[in-house]
Amino acid sequence: MKIELRYAAHPEDVKYWDTARLRKEFLIENVFVNDEISLVYSMYDRFIVGGAMPVKKQLELEPPDELKSEQFLDRREMGIINIGGDAVIHASGKMFKIVFKEALYLAKGSHDVTFKSVDPDKPAKLYINSAPAHHAYPSTKVTLADAEIVVMGTMESSNHRTVNKLLVNSVVETCQLQMGMTELKTGSVWNTMPVHTHNRRMEAYFYFRLAEKQSICHFMGDPDETRHIWMKNEQAVLSPAWSIHSAAGTSNYTFIWGMAGENLDYGDMDIRQPDTLK
């Protein structure tokens, strides 16, 4: 288990950061490491982002010292979406088989959590989000057939996309964690446009299925003074509540969004139209 702490920052301070500082504070470059659980603990809503990639061995979800708890999920809930080979996850004596693009919600109080790949030659890549929890809702597997699916955007605006709402309150009960997966159609490159902020919630984006030698330009910051971070395939980025979170890729891609905060209202957004951005 490897965990890194990231501290919150005031938006007025972020305006003066250079590229290196922006990347250090918000970009998560190495989400998946062979036979490791690699996590970032953000002080934005105490959200945890990372990945587990079991290859040759089974990985145990052990509590790092930073959590001060006997089990990792004593006071937390967790969402997992598999972007790799088939996985077997054990939690509290139950077994869940999670295949590509399937999700698993693990309840507060889940214990003895382990991750294993069915085939070491096709290792699972388990993308993880975790947030503090006040109640133990049932651990639940969610497939694309269970998801709430919405098609948005148009080819004319280069943002034709399918939004798969996996771990949202219309599909599964959670305390504050929400996760989903958005797939851009071939020829579309923009996500989350028009942009928005939501001061009631923070968010994290994880980009994957990006073609080799292509890149993502992720936009963040105050809508009146935006910044950007260039990202590669299978990297994640933190988005404070005051920041926009949008991107354009040099080709189409898929991304996973995860949120935590004050409410579970997916539509709680303060929209900014493209012609008002600075």
Query: Where residue 225 falls among pLDDT bands split at 50, 70, 90?
Result: very high
DSSP string, the chain: -EEEEE----HHHHTT--HHHHHHHHEE-----TT-EEEEEESSTT-EEEEE--SSS-EE-PPPGGG-SSSTTSSEEEEEEE-SS-EEEEETTEEEEE-TT-EEEE-TT--S-EEEES-TTS---EEEEEEE-SS-PPPEEE-TTTSEEEEE--TTTT--EEEEEEESTTTS--SS-EEEEEEEPTT--EES-SEEE-TTEEEEEEEE-PPTT--EEEEEEETTEEEEEEE-TTEEEEE-TTS--EEEESS--EEEEEEEES---TT--EEE-GGG--
For residue range 119-139, list pLDDT tens digits in order: 999 999 999 999 999 999 999
For residue range 142-173, list pLDDT tens digits in order: 999 999 999 999 999 899 999 999 999 999 99
All residues at 6 or more sequence positions from 56 whose CB lies less than 8 Å from its CB, including other chains: 35, 120
Task: Give this prediction's pTM.
Answer: 0.97
Predicted local confidence at residue 93, as pLDDT: 97
Residue 223: pLDDT over 90: yes
Maximum C-alpha span of the chain: 53
Residue 267: pLDDT over 90: no
Cα end-to-end span (Å), the chain: 40
For the chain, which domains are there? 2-276 (2.60.120.10)
All residues at 6 or more sequence positions from 151 whose CB lies less than 8 Å from its CB, including other chains: 160, 161, 162, 163
Predicted local confidence at residue 38, as pLDDT: 98
Residue 3: pLDDT over 90: yes
Alpha-carbon gap, residue 124 to 143, rounded angstroms: 16
For residue range 93-127, list pLDDT tens digits in order: 999 999 999 999 999 999 999 999 999 999 999 99
For residue range 6-50, list pLDDT tens digits in order: 999 999 999 999 999 999 999 999 999 999 999 999 999 999 999
* Closest to 150 measured CA to CA, from 136, 140, 164, 137: 164
